[in-house]
Structure 1
Amino acid sequence: MFSLSRHALRHTRNFALSVSANKCKPIAVAVPLNLRYFAADSRHNNHKTGSNSNNNNMENKVEKITVNKEELRKRLTPMQYQVTQEAGTERPFTGCYNKHYEKGVYQCIVCHQDLFSSDTKYDSGCGWPAFNDVLDKGKVTLHRDASIPERIRTEVRCARCNAHMGHVFEDGPKPTRKRYCINSASIEFVSVSEDTSATTTTTASHATPIAQQ
């Protein structure tokens, strides 16, 4: 995933692939409210264990699962599959969640693990959803990405199912200075309402053009 420099835009245009460009079609599904905001649970757990949520310990503290690729092909859109399973990158400014600021939690599209909060989402201008932090450091893993030799990046993956999310950069706002640049195709949004007894999960179809890294 790239910052919006001339080099990055030129690279994106040169490697764009043509796939169907259907608009996002959100599907509302009611789920129990016992999935109360993960951020609160994270703070509670940190308080009990005495851990610091701002540390840099990326130790995987979640149980890993093995995904069935054939089942995923049936359940996910071609865009979602290519991004999460083949480390693809959607074109900038095409993702459903780029300008989405409703209150809630963003989950991994593959295993539905809570990863990011709307409280840390901001408009970075890069063309992809950007977050200042993750809900819990143990929920993601970081990997060295040398797919672009002239620009070594840090890849972000879901620690539970190993799905590719995007990349993290050191040019974000305070307090973390992080910019988790995440593909819309790799996440789904869960809206948490304080006034109702159910939450709404919005799963979008991301059949938009994709750019290879």
Structure 2
Amino acid sequence: MSTNKSAATAPKVLVVDDDSDIVELLEYNLTKEGYSVLTASNGKKAIEIAKSFIPDLILLDIMMPQLDGIETGRLLRQNPDINHTYILFLTARSEEYSEVAAFDAGADDYITKPIKPRALMSRINALFRREAQKAESGDTIEILDLSINRKNYTVTQAGEKSVILPKKEFELLFFLAQTPNKVFSRDELLQKIWGVDIYVLERTVDVHIRKLREKLGEKYIKTLKGVGYMFSNEKE
């Protein structure tokens, strides 16, 4: 079913894969759903296109010549204009270490091949629906010395320079900060942040928590062994 998006408001998708048949399949289905689509056959070209296209979503193959998907994802995340872009990795590899590496490089989702177009389109449409729902809720949380701004995905710490966070890191922080001192299990966080229709490893949460601590410090998010994580609003 088409999403009937207008040309002016259609989310922009960049498809990156060295398999021309997969690119053609994805481009056809995305265009049919009303998305604005550009394609690239390798990581270097994808980075070049993304700088001017500023996609809302990148479908990124991992096994590619010249520059693999993991390194491409890392380089894309270094561009502040693309920091809010969803990155969905596409791969024939299903090993756990590959999935962890993908999320460590900034992935929002990880999809194994062979690709089922209808299932993939459903996932992408659900992703953008959740994004629209989040935009309707409150914009800013002020807690401890943090100002967490949902409009631009920034966190200002002690009035200093703002830190721009990738989408999933920001959403995880925002969610935990909304209910300080409440402990959430990894499974609960996966369902709340990634959604029930997306399968990712529980270790994905650990990766994102580690990245948040590296950027903001250890004091905000506490670990309860065997239980989960919580945002602590206790002053040290």
TM-score of the superposed pair, with normalisation by structure 1: 0.25
The structure carrying a bigger helix percent of its residues is 2
The structure carrying a bigger strand percent of its residues is 1
CA radius of gyration, larger in = 2
Higher relative contact order (CA 8 A, sep 6+): 1
